[in-house]
Amino acid sequence: MALAGKRILIIIGGGIAAYKVLELIRRLREAGTEVRVVMTAAAKHFVTELSVASLTGSKVFSDLFSLTDEAEMGHIQLSRNTDLLVVAPATADLLARMAHGLANDLASTLLLATDKKILVAPAMNLRMWLAPATQRNVRTLKNDGVLFVGPEDGDMACGEYGPGRMSEPANILAAIDQALKGNTALPLPPALRREGGALMGKRVIITSGPTHEPIDPVRYIANRSSGKQGHALAAAAAAAGAEVILISGPVALPDPDGVETHRIETALEMRAAVEAALPADIFIGAAAVADWRVANTAEGKIKKGFRPPGFSLVENPDILASVARHGSMRPRLVVGFAAETADVLAHARAKLERKGCDIIVANDVSAGSDVMGSDENQITIVTRAGLEPLPRLRKDEVARRLITRLADLLPSMPEPAPMAKTGSGSDV
């Protein structure tokens, strides 16, 4: 993690999710991060300055016109003597003020005056999140380079269900780590996009390669994916004119031309990078994401003893399934891969249903199939309408044909539903 020795300025907004920020601060401090906090007036209704100050070990700032604070360091310095600004919970009101450049309290003044990256973790009632005004503000902020983590779908304090829940502290922590490593989802300059292709004007997110799940600082769990198929898909989508965001695990390949590439290591980092890159028209999960990670990663190298070390595994989040079931930002076309060693098509069909995606691309990775790591692949496109097998081809030709097929299918896909379930009430 890139957190040790870094300085984070957290702006706590006025929402019920503010209590989760206490846990975030605790985790950041454990990771060796220096944390300063600014609270809005509304935030103080949800958490006390005392609890925040005792967790950060330093003064909490909230007054724009505090003579003492101004004499000591100056407000502008507060936002510049930091590596990253994090707004959590980012309420609809705070997002609106940021999008419009308002500076009517300490929080909004710092956000306007900063020259550092900003990561926001929105939290609000689902109707407020889905309101055209909020979505407009979100688009403006994303275009301005502001990074987002969440919101997630789930039960709200008010009894409703849908998008608007603030991301859990572990996910915000992973997004902070990504932002500090420079793996951010800033928009690709239009000059790098190719004109006239079948995916012109479309945004495509692609995952590629393996993930590495650490056991200790020197060892990890991984798989044999080389990233060749995922990277070829990114290049083919860019050649078709799309704005492509490639989220790649550790691979030995160069970043494809004209593609915004983010390098991650673990499944949790991949999920945070995918979340930050949404919304998109198409999502393609070509990565071989590790299904499990080590629960108790050792801080130091595990030494050889009489017995092999025991460690327990916990399941990683299913990135493809969560994108396919994303209430508010489900891409119109969600495509997964199925790497199988037996009963390939039966497993692929089952995955199509279980993960809730629109297409599964089945490939046989059994011993002797020579797919993982090689330059060729033989795929079958599995949809609810049937099977479309392709011959064994070079991976770049597989990618070209698959992207052409997706471009054909895209207009026939239904507009994504705005939310998974609905109810009534408020989260703020």
Catalytic residue ranges: 158
Nearer to ligand PMT, 117 or 228 (CB): 228
- Min CB(33)–ligand PMT separation in Å: 27
Query: Going by C-beta distance under 8 Å and a sequence separation of 6 or more, which residues neighbour residue 56?
Result: 25, 29, 35, 36, 37
Q: How far is the CB of 90 from ligand PMT (least distance, A)?
A: 26
CB 276 within 8 A of CB 186: no
Q: Closest approach of Cβ 202 to ligand PMT, in Å?
A: 20
Could you give the CA distance from residue 421 to residue 271 in angstroms, rounded to a whole number? Answer: 23
Binding site for ligand PMT (CB under 6 A): 207, 209, 225-230, 267, 285-289, 291, 316, 318-320, 336-339, 351, 363, 365, 371-373, 395
How far is Cα 87 from Cα 148, in angstroms, rounded to an integer?
10
Minimum distance from residue 164 beta carbon to ligand PMT (Å): 23
Annotate 188-235 with DSSP letters as a single string: PPGGGSPSS-TTTT-EEEEEESB--EESSSS-EE--S--SHHHHHHHH
Taking the complex as a whole, how short is the minimal distance between the CB of residue 349 and ligand PMT, in angstroms?
13
Specify whether the CB–CB gap between 298 and 371 falls below 8 A.
Answer: no
Nearer to ligand PMT, 145 or 292 (CB): 292
Q: Which residue type sits at 319?
A: I
Residue 245 and residue 270: Cα distance in Å, rounded?
A: 12
Shortest approach of ligand PMT to residue 232 CB, angstroms? 8
CA dihedral 402, 403, 408, 412 (to 10 degrees): 90
Neighbours of 217 (CB within 10 A): 12
Contact assessment for residue 294 and residue 212, using Cβ atoms and an 8 Å cutoff:
no
Reading the block at residue 412, the tokens are 């026939």
C-alpha–C-alpha distance, residues 120 and 138, integer Å: 10
Q: Which of 150, 159, 97 is nearest to 328 (CA)?
A: 150
Count how many Cα atoms sit within 13 Å of the Cα of residue 47 in the half-sphere of its side chain.
Answer: 29
Q: What does the CA dihedral 346, 351, 354, 356 come to, rounded to 10 degrees?
A: -130
Residue 335: CB minimum distance to ligand PMT, A: 8
- Per the listing, tokens 């891409």 go with 331
